[in-house]
Amino acid sequence: MFIMKIEILGTGCAKCKALEKVAQEAVAKIGGFHEVKKVEDIVEIMKYNVISTPGLVIDGVVKSSGKLLSVDEVIALMQGETGTAEVKSSCGCGGKC
C-alpha cells in the first residue's frame, strides 16, 4: 500500500488551519493511511520556496500555495489528476507576491 505524505505549510492563520482540516477530510474520503502533517516552522516552510500560505505539499512536491482548496481539489491533487500543475495564489499576481 502506498502512503502519501501530505504537508500543510502555514504559521497558524485561519486558512492554514482550514486547509489542514480539508486535507484530513480528503484523506478520509479516499481512504488509506496517509500522513497529514502541519508545518508551522517558517524555516521549514521557506525550504519549499512558498511565499504565500497556506501551502499544500504532497510527497515533497508543492501542489498549491496561497489558496484554501476544497476537499475535491485536494483529492484531485492526491490522485494526480492535475499532474504537476500548481494552484497559485488567488490574488492575481501570478505567484509574484
Summarised one tens digit per residue, pLDDT across range 45-66 is 999 999 899 999 999 999 999 9
pLDDT at 89 > cutoff 60: no
Active site residue 91: no
- Distance in angstroms (rounded) separating the CA atoms of residues 47 and 94: 20
- Global pTM reads 0.80
Active-site residue identified among 13, 91, 93, 97: 13
Active site residue 16: yes
Give the pLDDT band (50/70/90) at residue 31.
confident
Nearest Cα residue to 9 out of 93, 81, 49: 49
- CATH architecture classification, 5-78: 3-Layer(aba) Sandwich (3.40)
Domain boundaries, the chain: 5-78
- pLDDT of 33: 85
Instruction: List strands edge to edge, sheet with 35-39.
Output: 35-39, 5-9, 55-58, 61-65
Give the pLDDT band (50/70/90) at residue 88.
very low
